[in-house]
Every structure is written in C-alpha cells, then in structure tokens.
Structure 1
Amino acid sequence: MKLLILSDSHSQIAPMDEVLRDHPDIAMAIHLGDYVRDANIVSKFHPSLPFSTVAGNGDFLSNAPLRSIFEFGGKTIFACHGHEYRVKSGLSLLLQAARDAGADIALFGHTHVPYSDYHDGIYVLNPGSIGSPPGGRAPSYGILDVSSERFNGTLCQYHAKHSL
C-alpha cells in the first residue's frame, strides 16, 4: 500500500493534483499542514482517494486536527505539521510524541526541507514543501510504501510538466 505525503503547499494546488495523477497506485494521501484548504480542494478532484489532513501553523481557521495517529498497512503512523514540537530546533519532542503514541513512523512538515531517517526505532519522514521550498530547491513530496512486514520511504522532487 502506498501513502502519498504532502506538506506546505501554500496555495499551490496544481503540483498536488499533478503528483496525484502521476501516482495512480496511491491508496491514501495525507497533507501535513500549511495550507490544508489546498488539500480539501485537490481531494475533490480525486473523490475515490482517502485524503487526510493535519493543521499547520498557517491553518488558523481549519477544523483539521493538530495531529493524527492512524494505522496504514499494519503500521502505526503519527502525523503532525511539526510546529507544536519545535521541529526546526530538533526532533526530540516529535520523537517523544511518536513514542508515546506507539508509532512505527512519524511524519511531519513545517521546515520545508525534505528529511528521512531512523531515530530510536522510529522512521521519520518530512516530505519538504510541495508549494514553497526554500533556497531554490525543487518542490518535493514523499511516498511511503507499506506492508505489514516492511516499509520504504521515498522523497521525490516535483517538476512541473505543464505551465499555467
């Protein structure tokens, strides 16, 4: 099963839609905040795809939760934007929250910088920013391929195929 991980779209809807069209084998998508309203719009273009969101620091009026704990492919996933766990200063608070939740995998955004690594038995992935990457970086997203016995995270760069 494949989970598409998006974050920090900042009103850039077209890249998210194009990524979804490029990956028809996705079983579910999650947007890790800033701006979840973009995810709500894109999800209407793909009504058969389960789409989850968590609120970021830029989602003031959103009803989305600040964190989500869910099962996917037999693994427990902890998802948040990251601002509440001060991820720009380190991952210790995020890792503690993921541990407390019994998570195998922790997903976060907020930094706009892609990241993937293991920490104390927890796989941590930040897809970077699909809409507002820093310093001339390419927009990015993540794909988590999960089975009950193993999982593999991939960080992907987005390159526009169509100009608007």
Structure 2
Amino acid sequence: MSENKMRILVISDSHGRNDDVAGVIEQVGPIDMLIHCGDVERGDDYIRSLVDCPVHMVSGNNDYNLDLPAQDIFNIGDYKVLVVHGHTFYVYRGVERLKQYALQNNIDIVMFGHTHKPYIEIDEDVTILNPGSVSYPRQPDHMPTFLIMEIDDEGEAHYGHGYYKSKFTELKI
C-alpha cells in the first residue's frame, strides 16, 4: 500500500442517531479518516470512539450544545479541504456561495451537509461534495447515504456514494 493511499468516510446529518453512524462505519470497513459534515446533535465523543483514525467534525444548525467548529480546513494528501455544514452558505439555493468561498481561499474540495441529499460536482477548480444523510435522507429514493473518498497511489482523489443498509432500510425494501 502506498503512503499516499487513503480511504475516507464522509457522513452528515445523523441527528443523534449514532446507531446509524456505527452501522455505516461497520459496513464500510477500515478507514483512514472520518469526516462528519454536521448536525451530529449528540454523541460526538462516542462517534470519535468508534474509529481509530483522525476525525473531523463540524457543527450544524442543530448542534446547539456541542463544542464543534463551524468549519474545518485541513489537507488530505495534496488537497486543501473545507468542511462546513452548509446552512450559512444557503446551500438549499445552490452551491455557488460555497464555490466562490472555495475559490477565494484556494480550497480544492468542499464537503457539506444540511440538504440531506447526496451531491458530487467536480470541475477543474473545485470539487463540491455532500454525502447525503445517514439517518434522514431527502432525495427521491429516501435511501440513507454516505460518501467514500479514496486517494489512489498517485495521490488522485476519487469519490462515490454508498447506501447505508440499516435494519430500517432492509425493512423498507
């Protein structure tokens, strides 16, 4: 395995349903980093205890009593990453404000939540990602989603959404 190779789990909008967070972590297997894009609501220390890797977690519009930052900027390999919940960027109206902020701050990848809908937009200047919600999805199929980001041997990033197969989901099918 190359030094550059990484597997990152990105989740959002668990809204206190930490059994869903634990289930997704179990489903995806080994990861090198966990990112939560906000609306944790409770159990941030518990979520950190579920993994043996770096955890980046930001506050969402429902995270009143958690001591989490509103945004987090850090590097994953050669990529400068911004994690926000998205509500302060009015993401329900689109991602233009996020994109503009990223371009002004030399951000390569923006990860956000809040809409509860999976989203990937890749262009030459910035990549915008939303994992959807592991607990309360709002896209047409209403399947709980997460995002996996992988850094390959050459340091290139790849992204894909996965469906969380919870007991609740299995009952719905």
TM-score by length of 2: 0.85
1:101 aligns with 2:105: yes
1:76 aligns with 2:80: yes
- 8 Å contact 1:9–1:38 — kept in the other structure? no
Per-residue Cα deviation, 1:60-107 (whole angstroms, up to 9, x for no partner): 222111111110122111110000100000111111111222111110
Give 3-state SS (helix, strand or coil) of 1:37's partner.
coil
1:50 aligns with 2:54: yes
Q: Which runs of 5+ in 1 are unaligned?
A: none
Post-superposition offset of 1:125: 0.7
1:22 aligns with 2:27: yes
- 8 Å contact 2:41–2:64 — kept in the other structure? no
Q: Which runs of 5+ in 2 are unaligned?
A: 1-5
Partner of 1:62: 66
Partner of 1:9: 14
Post-superposition offset of 1:25: 2.8
Per-residue Cα deviation, 1:106-151 (whole angstroms, up to 9, x for no partner): 1000000000112452111100001111255111100111246411
- 8 Å contact 2:14–2:134 — kept in the other structure? yes
Question: What amino acid does structure 2 have at the position aligned with 1:33?
Answer: G
Aligned alpha-carbon RMSD (Å): 1.9
Report the more deviating stretch, 83-92 or 31-40: 31-40
- 8 Å contact 1:27–1:50 — kept in the other structure? yes
| Structure having the higher Rg | 2
Question: What amino acid does structure 1 have at the position aligned with 2:73?
Answer: I
Per-residue Cα deviation, 1:10-45 (whole angstroms, up to 9, x for no partner): 121112112212233310001111125344322223
Identity between Structure 1 and Structure 2 (%): 31
Structure 2: distance between partners of 1:41 and 1:136 = 29
Structure 1: distance between partners of 2:105 and 2:41 = 23
Structure 2: distance between partners of 1:88 and 1:25 = 33
- 8 Å contact 2:7–2:32 — kept in the other structure? yes
